[in-house]
Structure 1
Amino acid sequence: MVALSRKRKSTHTNPKTVSAKRARRSHSLEWKRASRMKTINKSPKGHREPLDFFVWGSGSMCELGLGPKSKTKEVKRPRLNPYLKKEEVGIVDFAVGGMHTLALDKSNNVWSWGTNDMGVLGRNTSLKKETPLDEKEEEDEDDEDDDLNEAESTPGLVEGLPKDKRIVQLAATDNLSAALLETGEVYAWGTFRCNEGILGFSKKVKIQKTPVQIEDFDNIVQIAAGKDHLLALDSKGVAYAWGNGQQFQLGRKIMERTRMTSLEPRSFGLKNVKYVGSGDYHSMAITHDGKVYTWGLNQFGQCGIASNIEDGSIVSRPTEVTELSGKDIVAITGGEHHTLALSSSGEVYVFGRYDMKEIGIPEDKLPLDDCVKDARGHVRCLPVPTKLTSLPPIKAVAAGPHHSLALTKDGVVYAWGFADTFAVGLGMLDDDVDHPTRIDNTATRNHAIELIGCGGQFSVSAGNRLPDDKAESRKASVEKFEENLS
């Protein structure tokens, strides 16, 4: 009699399965440890005052939200958005991504517009009129005159966000959108991209087209968006990051075999934090004891770390920017290769790439001893944080990939940087803007601007009109400041 062989159960364990289990276990332990920590950050109240809403720049990808007509593709100076009137909609806050914008209204609704390829608008934009083939062939001969996608270029309501919980902050990367609720919960939609293409929204979902709550993630008080990564800060002072980490912008090394774990929020050892900020490929944090940390891509000194400034240079873990020590920095943000830091007294410190004038310092006023030059002797970057001396006291800063905005304490916007896309809002220019220049046009001249934001090649602001006497008084003060500079 022949004995039948029995299959032995394999004792081999898939390394990916082990890694995933360890990641889940680590994630749960993080929350247990955090629950024992002291609360040091308060939940934000959010903005609640309805504002006039302005847009400008290049809108060929529907970024400006001015409707489908082709004449809205380029707006050289700030223009009031007719779809978001203060009396009817009442925008109170917004967030700007690479090619889309989110806006929160007084009734707790979120509006969106822009390119929706990755589901960032959180609504269905596929319903559009089909162009007859013969007409389309004629349009293709001169696509500059084509109208924009009606659903994407016109502000519409995001679908699926909770109605019974107040939204206190919005965030937008190039390909993902997020909303922070007063409860500390975070909802998100869209996806993350990496060097190879779509990375994904989560381990199971490539593109999330409507808002969903991020599981096992609460107690959050602030979120910040990079090009394809997000940062979050909780009430205990712990910072988290998730998304694409190929330039170490997540504050930790991402292994190829466990890359999908980067799609879940993880802490990375940075505690006692009171503020998080982000550039496209680098990240920042401010601690309660006044220290500023940066990490990620540093090829133009955008991390404020003046070592190994060359293509591909990175700061692999959070590193203190000692040049900002003692400056009482309260906010920090960045573009593709530059960074802006704001102090409590309204001073702005800049560092990073120079060739498109992103840092706002004319060449003849650069601290050349602190600059890095290329092989031809041209200034490549300024990696040392340097104070901008040509601005009045500032209350907010914003950065696009290659342009910057600063908002004065009395509501005036200054702009500088790359000018070809009109994102600086200064009209038709022959050259990039090498120093902070006041945006002065009919639409916003008598407004006290309260909020500013920068997209890939456009900008956004919001504010309220001043009484005539206050507008005249402010104008005299601003002009006197600028006369003293010259």
Structure 2
Amino acid sequence: MARLVRKRGESQDNAPSVKRAKSSGSTLASRRASRLPAINDFPKAKTEKLDLFVFGTGSMSELGLGPAASTKEVKRPRLNPLLKKDEVGIVDFAVGGMHTLALDYKNQVWSWGGNDSGVLGRDTSQAQEQLRDMDDEDDDDEDGDLNELESTPGLVEGLPDIQIVQLIATDNLSGVLLENGEVWAWGTFRCNEGLLGFLDSEGIQKTPRHIPGFVNIVQVASGKDHIIGLDNKGIPYAWGNGQQFQLGRRILERTRLQSLEPREFGLKKIKFVGSGEFHSFAISENGKVYSWGLNQYGQCGVPINIEDGAVIAKPTEIEELTGKDVVYITGGEHHTLALTKSGEVYVFGRYDMKEIGIKKEDLPEDAYKDANGNTRAVPVPTKLTTLPRIKALTAGSHHSLAITESGVVYSWGFADTYAVGLGPVDDDVETPTRIANTATKEHDMKIVGAGGQFSVSGGVKLTSEEEIEKRLDEIEKFEDSL
């Protein structure tokens, strides 16, 4: 687990002194952009109330089930009783590395999880963790209960009274996209050396703040410590840590703080942006898919430089996805998932924790092997043939989830933290496997999200027994055909 997330209490202020660089501005680029036609519509807010399910490891309060020590591990999806559909009415959510944001039908944002970087947008400093009583022989939990304010969903403070259309969650920063194209955010960015900062500050922004560099934004993609925002003219802007070239431009150490200002980086006529933890994506108006950033496992889908520390320094077309009609693309730490308009899924990147969902005997010939002959990565987009038609998908750090058109969730990848929701399993889950527990078997899942060691799904309960049986028959028929 330690390899997946940072532990509580890790220093937030150990970044070396960096000379602040003066902004060179982008006045000329802004003037040129103002003359471009609008190609992207502003999104509408979601309105359907959802049941919210959580599963995985919640040692950092990620599951939002309250402070009891018994909520630290949830091996299969569990309905969150603190966010009941009829009482709270969650309509959307976003999952970061160790926290979650949820939007209710009243346009209020709820947050829970680790708050070391101020990502919850509310003060949790007054809560005290209840440690285990050393004299209690019946309590076998070494760490005791969780922080009550972090583990219990609470309302974010200080947001403007404007409709929210998208939530933003990275490892150390949170935010919202408003219907007027503004972005408000809080938290911080981190880099290899420690704390990087937030906008023009080297500290932590604990309450929501307007981000002036994002104007007329229609969509946002979140990485581990960077954000890509897309405007209505089809121009993407990047903000945050760029040490692995995930911002689409070179960031010099002496001017590192320039990355704390959202800037465009040369792409135009873009319809969609996506992100992995250290790599990024864009889909153009003509259907081309571009990637850039860390590529040491081929997670950029560009079959070059498959070695430790390798990067794709600028947006590069993923030629293997050309003509596939990709409409959505996202990634984990070292793997990528792409969804086509027809519901097909293409995968590429790291293999050894099974996060791309391909059986060993089905690996393509161009799979990359190490010096010992062990398969390390699949650098070329490969169609995942063991899934029915998919309507939504997500990537955690080392696991993946997908929702079928009929609302059933499949998962695969790293299983030690139970983030795949399949209960105790002996090994990592090699191929997509249906989550078929009692709590969710009658739900039409609409949204799914994944963090470092946990997952969240949201859906509505089907009311027709006939519909439930028909869906099950269709799914079982597909699985029997494999």
Tell whether 2:183 aligns with 1:181. Answer: no
**In the alignment, which residue of structure 1 is the partner of 2:404?**
408
**In the alignment, which residue of structure 2 is the partner of 1:42?**
41
SS in 1 for 2:400: strand
**In the alignment, which residue of structure 2 is the partner of 1:436?**
432
**In the alignment, which residue of structure 2 is the partner of 1:150?**
148
Q: Are the aligned partners of 1:360 and 1:417 in contact in 2 as well (CA < 8 Å)?
A: yes
1:311 pairs, out of 302, 308, 312, with 308
Sort the Cα spacing of 1:216 and 1:362 in 2 relative to 1 into closer, same or farther, 3 A.
Answer: closer
**In the alignment, which residue of structure 2 is the partner of 1:111?**
110
**In the alignment, which residue of structure 2 is the partner of 1:333?**
330
**In the alignment, which residue of structure 2 is the partner of 1:277?**
274
Tell whether 2:190 aligns with 1:193. Answer: yes
Q: 1:216: Cα distance to partner?
A: 4.2
The answer for unaligned runs of 5 or more in structure 2 is: 1-18
Q: 1:337: Cα distance to partner?
A: 0.3
Tell me the amino acid that sits aligned with residue 59 of structure 1: G
Tell me the amino acid that sits aligned with residue 312 of structure 1: G
Q: 1:469: Cα distance to partner?
A: 1.7
Aligned partners of 1:300 and 1:277: how far apart in 2?
18
SS in 1 for 2:87: coil
Aligned partners of 2:143 and 2:267: how far apart in 1?
50
Tell whether 2:261 aligns with 1:264. Answer: yes
Aligned partners of 2:133 and 2:377: how far apart in 1?
49
**In the alignment, which residue of structure 1 is the partner of 2:9?**
none
Between 1:350-359 and 1:467-476, the stretch displaced more is 467-476
Q: Are the aligned partners of 1:371 and 1:379 in contact in 2 as well (CA < 8 Å)?
A: yes
Q: 1:178: Cα distance to partner?
A: 1.1
Tell whether 2:423 aligns with 1:424. Answer: no
- Percent of residue pairs bearing the same amino acid type: 66
Q: 1:138: Cα distance to partner?
A: 8.3
Aligned partners of 1:423 and 1:142: how far apart in 2?
23
Aligned partners of 1:390 and 1:316: how far apart in 2?
33
**In the alignment, which residue of structure 2 is the partner of 1:10?**
none
Q: Are the aligned partners of 2:271 and 2:284 in contact in 1 as well (CA < 8 Å)?
A: yes
2:203 pairs, out of 196, 201, 206, with 206
The answer for unaligned runs of 5 or more in structure 1 is: 1-15
Aligned partners of 2:231 and 2:434: how far apart in 1?
36
Aligned partners of 1:90 and 1:292: how far apart in 2?
36
Q: Are the aligned partners of 2:196 and 2:202 in contact in 1 as well (CA < 8 Å)?
A: no
**In the alignment, which residue of structure 2 is the partner of 1:13?**
none
TM-score (norm 2): 0.93
Aligned partners of 2:218 and 2:416: how far apart in 1?
37
Tell me the amino acid that sits aligned with residue 43 of structure 1: F
Tell whether 2:347 aligns with 1:350. Answer: yes
Q: 1:46: Cα distance to partner?
A: 2.7
Q: Are the aligned partners of 2:129 and 2:148 in contact in 1 as well (CA < 8 Å)?
A: no
Tell me the amino acid that sits aligned with residue 160 of structure 2: P
Q: 1:20: Cα distance to partner?
A: 1.2
The one-character-per-residue Cα deviations of 1:154-212 (angstroms, maximum 9, x if unpaired) are 0000000012x100000100000010000000000000000000000122251000001
Tell me the amino acid that sits aligned with residue 365 of structure 1: D
SS in 2 for 1:128: coil
Q: Are the aligned partners of 2:127 and 2:149 in contact in 1 as well (CA < 8 Å)?
A: yes
Q: Are the aligned partners of 1:70 and 1:144 in contact in 2 as well (CA < 8 Å)?
A: no
Aligned partners of 1:84 and 1:31: how far apart in 2?
43
**In the alignment, which residue of structure 1 is the partner of 2:120?**
121
TM-score (norm 1): 0.93
Q: 1:129: Cα distance to partner?
A: 3.8
Aligned partners of 1:338 and 1:376: how far apart in 2?
22
Tell me the amino acid that sits aligned with residue 97 of structure 1: G
Larger Rg belongs to: 1
**In the alignment, which residue of structure 2 is the partner of 1:392?**
388
Q: Are the aligned partners of 2:238 and 2:262 in contact in 1 as well (CA < 8 Å)?
A: yes
Number of aligned residues: 463
**In the alignment, which residue of structure 2 is the partner of 1:290?**
287
Q: 1:382: Cα distance to partner?
A: 0.3
